Amino acid sequence: VADLQILLTTLNAKFIHSSLSLRYLQSYCRRDFPKMIVEEFDINQPTGLILGEIFRCQPNVVAFSCYIWNINQTLVLARLLKQVLPALTIILGGPEVTYDAPEVLQEHPYLDFIVVGEGEQTFCELLKYLREAASCQTPLNSNLTNIPSLVYRQETEIVQNPRRQLPTRLDVYPSPYAQGAADLGPKLAYYETSRGCPFRCQYCLSAAAPGVRYFSMERVQSDLRTLIAAGTPLIKFVDRTFNSNQEHALTIFDFILNNPGRSRFHFEIVADLLTDKMLDYLARVPPGLFQFEIGIQSTHRETLSLIQRRIPQETMMPKIKMLQAAGRVLLHLDLIAGLPGEDYQRFQQSFNDVFALRPGRIQLGFLKLLKGSGLREKAETFGYIYSATPPYEVLGNHWISYAKLRQLKDIESVLDTFYNTHRFDQTINYLLARHYPTPFDFWHDLARYWIARRYHRAAHQMRNLYQYLATFCAEKGFADLEIILEFLKFDYFSFEKSADPPAWCRVVNLPGSMRKKSSLVTEHHLVHYLPQLAGLTPREIYRRVRVEAFACDVTAGVTTVSNTPTLVVFDYGARDPLYRRAQVTRVPLDSP
């Protein structure tokens, strides 16, 4: 039997990502094709470089895993590969080629095969066929009819075989981490304990296949042991609704707690399914160990009904509030702009509802009409205009114009920079309390300033962002600018132990003996207020903390701000595990 040189590859969205699908395919085929080469690239690498790297392997077969973020570049690469290696067999698979596979083959004559849907078995059977065909010179296409979920050419025709019956027990797929996870290095690991989702949201591809299938708990625990032992910094569970089965989820949480390591764990959950038992459990987990991504998408009842997202808001929101109040789990809340039934005005309400929960992160996303999704089929009914090429982003519909969606994009860029970093929380809280009727009004105002100066077109150093916010407030002509800048200074020193404070940071003169800050350690017994510093020498303490004076009491909240000078100690050796802010302690000016 001839030895085919097979290369399995994909282009990840970022260098830091890793491909779970390649690992599954490689694991499933390992016994039959132990020499298969697996190479991961990312979409930020030049196409010429990737072409050269693939060419260097001199493959007979190249298989690409295709998603909305890489399909354009993948097709360019595939065409180039066929030009430089005309005998090459090219296989595509993945969600981006699953729903219109015959059309993709028709439009791209340099492609040979498409593996549709869950790919492990089909891909392996196809490789076996290709090996046979190469060794016995079997005419291409004989026996291909026996491979379910395969799309291929037969002379001038495109043939689409019937879909494969999917295995109910997912353990038939060998572990993607059977050979360990050390090769991941600093990259984040994707992992799944189930496939499928019990919900049917019409914008989502997970709604297409019915039912949820699970891996066995033994298998999951063995894989997690491997990932934790490898020191993987972040393990992202891609289960579509991780808590669809509460006992399954709790067993995994327990396992993680009983097997501590350096990893953090990210889950996509549906908040409505959180029971009291689960909420109670989550109020006691170590802070920062778990991150939850929760899709709110919209708080508009009519919109939720149009997209068939049957997750009751009335029960979901209080549960999110409880999770947030417990302060143990970092919450990412998702909103989607461009959904049917939601105009710009109503979207503001959804935004303000989500902002009121003050989650760790707000992801303002924009609807994409994915191939195979229910909403794409109703595009005409809802008056959608959208990009014909990936990522199929919506440009307008009966309810919202492109101009308004553009404004929301601008807001998304400032939200990500100024909210999701949590670097400006106190300043923003103060501005919201004193100067804006709703959070949306503030973000809209800041976005206008940001765009007018073309800041969205450049990368910025963190230090400059504080300056931009200071300038924004100055240009707004706020009468209480001095107080705002004190809050901004507080935010700045909550993260930065800067030896060289920025120009906008006003130095506040303290009365009399308090003037010399370095004398505080001995004269005012800093350790009395920060017991965690006990046993450190004054030199060690000053390497670890910063003592800063403020013209007003920035620690007392934003609604009543007293004008009495305040002394604050920032302890950078005791940062909070969720946002990495320094611990803040107010030291009375008349301390002993």
List interacting residues with ligand SF4 (CB under 6 A): 197, 199-201, 204, 206-207, 240-241, 270, 295
- Shortest Cβ distance from residue 95 to ligand SF4 (Å)? 12
Q: Where are the beta strands (DSSP E) in 112-227?
A: 113-115, 150-154, 157-160, 189-191, 194-195, 213-214
Query: Which CB sits closer to ligand SF4, 121 or 350?
Result: 350
Query: Which CB sits closer to ligand SF4, 241 or 350?
Result: 241
> What separation in angstroms does the CA of 194 have from each of 71, 217, 237, 294, 473?
26, 11, 9, 18, 49
In 3D space, the residue among 518, 533, 526 whose CA is nearest the CA of residue 573 turns out to be 533
- Shortest Cβ distance from residue 202 to ligand SF4 (Å)? 9
Residue 170's identity, in one-letter code, is L
- Shortest Cβ distance from residue 207 to ligand SF4 (Å)? 4
- Shortest Cβ distance from residue 325 to ligand SF4 (Å)? 24
In 3D space, the residue among 309, 299, 297, 236 whose CA is nearest the CA of residue 268 turns out to be 236
- Shortest Cβ distance from residue 43 to ligand SF4 (Å)? 24
Query: Which CB sits closer to ligand SF4, 269 or 470?
Result: 269
C-beta of residue 257 within 8 angstroms of C-beta of residue 226: no
- Shortest Cβ distance from residue 339 to ligand SF4 (Å)? 12
> What separation in angstroms does the CA of 215 have from each of 21, 79, 226?
16, 38, 16
- CA pair distance 337, 303, nearest whole angstrom: 11
> What separation in angstroms does the CA of 288 have from each of 265, 437, 592?
9, 32, 36
Query: Which CB sits closer to ligand SF4, 55 or 199?
Result: 199
- Shortest Cβ distance from residue 373 to ligand SF4 (Å)? 9
Query: Which CB sits closer to ligand SF4, 81 or 394?
Result: 394
Query: Which CB sits closer to ligand SF4, 373 or 494?
Result: 373
- Shortest Cβ distance from residue 194 to ligand SF4 (Å)? 11
Residue 579's identity, in one-letter code, is Y
How would you write 440-474 as a 3-class SS string?
Answer: HHHHHHHHHHHHHCCHHHCCCCHHHHHHHHHHHHH
Q: What single-letter DSSP state applies at residue 285? A: S
Query: Which CB sits closer to ligand SF4, 190 or 487?
Result: 190
Query: Which CB sits closer to ligand SF4, 294 or 405?
Result: 294
C-beta of residue 38 within 8 angstroms of C-beta of residue 123: no
- CA pair distance 193, 224, nearest whole angstrom: 10
